[in-house]
Structure formats: structure tokens, C-alpha cells
Amino acid sequence: MVGYRRKTPHLRQYMPNKHHARFGIKLWCVCDATSHYTKYFEIYKGAHTEQDRGSEEGVTHALVVRLFTESSLLNRGHHVGLDNYFSSPKLFFYLLKENTLATGTVRTNRKGLPKQMLKTPLRPQEVCERRKGPLLCVAYKDRSKRPVLLSTSATAGYQETTNSKGKRIQRPKCVVTYNSSMEGVDTSDARLYAYLAERKTLKWTHKLVFALLGRSLLNAYVLYYEHTLDNPKISRHQFHVDVLESLMGRYGPSIPKPPRKRRLRQDIREARTDGSPSSGCSTTRLSLCRHYQSLVDLQRFEELADPLTILYFSWLSVQDKVLYQKKICDIYVKHQVHCLRQRQPPKPKEDTRQSNAEKCRQYKENLKKDSEKWKAYLYKNKVQAQQWRGNQTEEQKEHTRELARKRQQKRRVTRLTQAKLEEKREKDRIRQAKHRAAVKANPQKFRREKEKRKNKRLEKKAVEEEQKRGKAKVPTTVKLSFKCPKQSCHHIVTDYKVFLTDDLKHDAHVVKFILHKCLTYLASKKIVAVQIFSDGCSSQYKSKLPFLHPQELQIMHPSLKICRHYFGLNHGKSLCDSSGGTVKNCASAAVKNGQAIIQSSKDMFEFCNDYLSISPPINGCQHLV
């Protein structure tokens, strides 16, 4: 893999398992397993290309055949090691026909593998072998992995080897052959990256050339190491240095270039462009410029009979205007043009010690002058103030003295205030230290208190927002009056107080508040018995606290006889709900018929006042209900 991250047409590939470069140009290489010499390579051009269109046997089959054919390795009795990406039973039989042996791992989904062997369970260090003619298939359980190998060279049986810890173990001969034949490409890449002269470049061709030069140097060192008779042999680093020195010495020593002569700037108004008069869109060149004439190219877009005369300028933008014969001419500049300027002689260096002493002396003189000016200014103001005080009347003098007394009193108050502030700050520091110690001793308690304060603050904020919108969050009263149930009496004697709230929380705290207010009001009216109807038990409400039990209500209000009832799925609209059911039924009917819009407790209160309230008579009976 040649590392390259920029976009290239079909060349850039992504291989996440590569350590050196995950993005780049992929190369198919044929390397020697012992010397790591690169015999042949091919650049992968990408999918959906002619290179990626394989034969009937598959893309990898055609790739291996093409690589071995181009590198002239077939029919020579070589032994080839392949990865599971390339291996297949058909490929191994084809290579055997071409007098080439092969060993390699194979994927279990390849066609032609024995299915019963793949399903056979194996324990560590166990082997399952099958043979089809000259092709041997081996399944081997090594710790957690279970590779499957194909080979046309190895025989069945075991061979004693040593592992990484130096322990002698028995492994199948096919596995030992595969491990010894699969080190060519990986080791060649590792040796290449050790001395690869990569450079940052935007062109993929440069990257590829650098990689090929590095691989050529590696091949040259392999040939040197195999065939030289020197002993000891030089290292690879020294080999690279010798190659570079020989290439540099082939062309002789470098001759230093003579310094370029620079002419002084002439009057550029007299300087004309070289060349003869031109017609439209002809090319003219500047004779006075910082760069060579071949780097500066001016092109005119008007037909002019005389050569172009350019006035003095120091810079030209990509498209600029030039005054020529009292006309504005367009010119095109491919490169920035610098007109030559005469070099100024260097300024003589100043003595820093002398200059610093001079600056200090000047600063002191200025400071002295400023102090004298300030004294004169203060003296002048003092004289003017004395003259002004002498011309004051008695009332003005008294007013001035009063202002002075107030200023003095203000200073005294400020001093006292600062002392109080310091005392308060000291108390706050002591209190904060005690609080921190208490929090450290019992953090859970203070965490709960903090959450309670936060919840109260949020509730208060919600109430303020609701009040701003015009929705009353506090309970609203509705007065309902009914006739006396006694058959002989027609007076209004029963007075109900109903509390309505926006159902935002619907928890036990709201119910407790409403019950307490209702029962207090009914007790003040000398009511004897109270029937309470509820939607259900406290578990259906969003609260961890249960509602008040009737016995607790009885203790809080001993003058009342309290009884609680539950009603079914009608939710307060049945006949047993008395006034509450009547109010709910009337409100529901009004909303369904379009007579009223009830969206909050305020709307409900206005609806009850307009349609359901009956003002009690002045003289009522004294019956108790």
C-alpha cells in the first residue's frame, strides 16, 4: 500500500487493517519468501475496470494467473504461498497442472471444500484432514482460531516446532510449510518502510515514483547481499549512502552560479517593451522587471500601432488598468511584477547605551517641565479661588460651609459603612466555613435541601409566569346556592364553595389544600355532615404522598362528620356527585354545544358565575343539612 489520502480516479483504496497507511494505492506483489526480493508487481486500478473483470473462475483466480504468467514463474517447479483472499481448490489444481506447488489458507465459503470436515468440532491442537487426489485439506484448532489450509506439496502428519515462548509443540506439516512460505510480502513491506523516503506531495504520481524508487533500492540491496563476497557486508543505511554518492559523483562537482547582475532602476516612463508593434491579442514583455522576461507576460486587448508604454507602478494585480496615450488599456498579468528600485545604503548602527542615556535625560527634563506647569496651574487656581471667596456674599459663604460639612459627613458615613462591610464579610466567611464543614459531614441532607429549594424556586417562577399570562393559578371560588331540601321550606339555605384549579400537577398537596379550605368554610357555616366524593385512590395521582385519610380530616375538623365515597368511570358526572356532578355536566354540555370555551380555572369560574350561580335570599331558614 502506497500511502495517499487525496482523491484519485479509481486508485485510492481504504484498508483499515494496514498499519503504515490505511488510504492509498494498492499494489499486487510477487516476492521471494527467503530473500524478500520483489519479482513482479501490479497496480490495482480499482473496481469496475478491465483489470477487475476476471474469468469464469473468479477475479482472484485471474489475478494470480496473470501475476505468475507475467513474472515467468509457471512451469519451473516453484512453491507458492497464498493468503485466503486468493486461495481456492480450482486455483490449486490449475497451478499443479502448470508444475507449480501451492500452500495457503482458504475461506470456508469457497466451492469444493468438504462440508463434513468444516462442521466437525475440534479441541485445541486437534487436526482433521481430507484429501482429494494431490490436494490436501487440513482443519487445525490452534487455541481460539480454526484455520483451514490447502496444500499440494505437504503430506499428512505432524512436525515438531518451537513456539514464541521456546516450548516444543507438534503441528501439522501443512501449517509449518505455510508459515515458512508466507513471509515474503509482509517482510518485504516492513523492510521497505524502514528506509522509505516519502515526501509530502499533492500528486499521486510523485508518491508512486518515490515508492518504486524505495523498492528498487531494496531489491538492489538484496542482490548485493546475496552475491557479494565482502565480509563483513555493509549495512543497508551505508548502502543507500553509497548509491546516492555514486549518483551525485556521476555528473561531476557542482559549479557555483555566478551572482546575477542587477541594473539600477531607470526612468520607467522611457522604458518600452521589447518587440515590434503588435496587433490585437499579441504578447509583449517588460524589459525592466525583477523576474526574467520569460516569467512575465503582458497581453493587450486593443489594437495599437506603437509598442506599449507603461507608466511607473510597483505592483500589478491579476487584471489592472494602465494609462497609455490618455487612454485606459486592459492588461493581463500572469505573475506579480516588481519594478526594480535602487537599494538604499544601510543605516549606521546607533550606540544603544548613549541613546538610552539621552532618552532618560530627555524624559527627566520633560517631567520637570510638566511638574512646573502643574504647580503654576495649581497656584493660579488657588489665587482665583481666594479671589472668588473674597467676592462672595454671606449667603454664598454659608452655602459653601454647608456643602463642606455635608462632604465631611459623607466621608464619615463612608468610613463607617466600610467598617460594617468588613465586619459583615468576616461573619459571612465564618458562616460559609461552618456551612462547608456541615455539608462535608452530612452531604445527603444538604443535597435534599438544595433540591427542595430548587423545586420551590421553580414553582414560584411558574406561578409568576402563569399570572403574567392572565391565568389564575391560585384556587378560585364559585358560589352555588340551592333550595332547602325540606318539603315545607322554599328558602335557600345550602351554600357551597367549590375550588377550581388548572390541572397542572394534580397531586396530594393540591387536594389537601382544597379539602382544608372547604371543610373550614363548611364548619364556619355550622354544617354537620360532609360527603366527600373522589376519583379514586391516591395511587393514580402523580405523587408519593397519599391523600388525607378521613380519620385525619375528622381530627382536624371535629365539628364535622366526614365520610368519603368513590365513584366509577364517569369521573364526577354521575348523579351521586350532587353539586360537583351538576357543574361538570353543565360545563361539558356547554363546551359540546359551542356555548362556552373552558380552558382554565378562570374560564370555569366565569362560566359558573354567568350560568350556574344563584344569589341567596336575604332572609333564609335555619335548617341544618
Task: Find residue 492's DSSP bridge partners.
Answer: 483
CA distance 577 to 565: 9
Q: Give the residue-averaged pLDDT of 132-148.
A: 82
Q: At which of 315, 341, 367 does a domain end?
A: 341
283 in the same domain as 217: no
Predicted confidence band of residue 354 (pLDDT cuts 50, 70, 90):
low
Closest CA to 87 of 60, 116, 67, 69: 60
Question: What cell does 470 get?
Answer: 392572565
Give the Cα-Cα-Cα angle 33, 38, 39 (nearest 5 degrees): 100
335 in the same domain as 226: no
CA distance 184 to 29: 10
Establish if 174 belongs to a structural domain: yes
Question: What cell does 372 get?
Answer: 512646573
Question: What cell does 264 get?
Answer: 539600477
What pLDDT score does 205 carry?
Answer: 85
Predicted confidence band of residue 501 (pLDDT cuts 50, 70, 90):
low
| 3-state secondary structure (DSSP) of residue 555 | helix
pLDDT 10s digits, 417-452: 778 888 888 888 898 888 888 888 888 888 888 888
230 in the same domain as 99: no
Residue 534 belongs to a domain with what CATH number? Answer: 3.30.420
**How many percent of the chain have pLDDT more than 70?**
63
CA distance 492 to 601: 26
Question: What cell does 237 get?
Answer: 543505511
What pLDDT score does 548 carry?
Answer: 53
Establish if 593 belongs to a structural domain: yes
CA distance 595 to 597: 7
555 in the same domain as 502: yes
Establish if 437 belongs to a structural domain: no
CA distance 102 to 135: 10
209 in the same domain as 110: no
DSSP string, 150-208: EESS--SSEEEEE-TTS-EEEEEHHHHHHHHHS-HHHHHHHHHHHT------S-HHHHH
121 in the same domain as 172: yes
- What does R_g of the chain's alpha carbons equal in angstroms? 52
Establish if 478 belongs to a structural domain: yes
235 in the same domain as 175: no
Is 224's pLDDT higher than 60? Answer: yes
Q: Give the residue-averaged pLDDT of 109-137.
A: 82
CA distance 87 to 83: 6
Q: Which residue has the higher pLDDT, 54 or 10?
A: 10
Question: What cell does 621 get?
Answer: 331558614
Question: What cell does 72 get?
Answer: 515467468
Task: Find residue 284's DSSP bridge partners.
Answer: 298
601 in the same domain as 497: yes
Is 577's pLDDT higher than 70? Answer: no
Closest CA to 120 of 128, 112, 111, 109: 128
> Which pairing describes strands 101-105 and 148-151: parallel, antiparallel, or unpaired?
antiparallel
Question: What cell does 500 get?
Answer: 377550581
What average pLDDT does the chain have? 70
Q: Which domain holds residue 514?
A: 472-611
Predicted confidence band of residue 40 (pLDDT cuts 50, 70, 90):
confident
Task: Find residue 136's DSSP bridge partners.
Answer: 131, 151
Single-letter code of the amino acid located at 172: P
Establish if 151 belongs to a structural domain: yes
Is 569's pLDDT higher than 60? Answer: no
| 3-state secondary structure (DSSP) of residue 223 | helix
280 in the same domain as 225: no
Q: At which of 341, 375, 395 does a domain end?
A: 341
CA distance 152 to 173: 12
Domains contained in the chain, number: 4
278 in the same domain as 331: yes
Single-letter code of the amino acid located at 219: N
Establish if 445 belongs to a structural domain: no
Establish if 425 belongs to a structural domain: no
Question: Distance from CA of residue 122 to its chain's centroid?
Answer: 47
Establish if 336 belongs to a structural domain: yes
Q: Which residue has the higher pLDDT, 480 or 17?
A: 17
58 in the same domain as 172: yes
CA distance 182 to 36: 11
pLDDT 10s digits, 149-163: 888 887 777 888 887
Q: Which residue's entry shows cell 551505508?
A: 238
Is 462's pLDDT higher than 70? Answer: yes
Tell me the backbone φ, ψ of residue 582, rounded to 5 degrees: -60, -45
Instruction: Region of 609 please: left (phi>0), alpha (psi -120 to 50) or beta.
Output: alpha
280 in the same domain as 170: no
| 3-state secondary structure (DSSP) of residue 148 | strand
Which of 149-153, 411-415, 563-567 has the least mean pLDDT?
563-567
Which of 283-297, 374-388, 442-456, 481-495 has the least mean pLDDT?
283-297
Is 88's pLDDT higher than 70? Answer: yes
> Which pairing describes strands 298-300 and 283-284: parallel, antiparallel, or unpaired?
antiparallel
| CA distances for 2 relative to 189, 194, 275, 540, angstroms | 10, 14, 50, 69
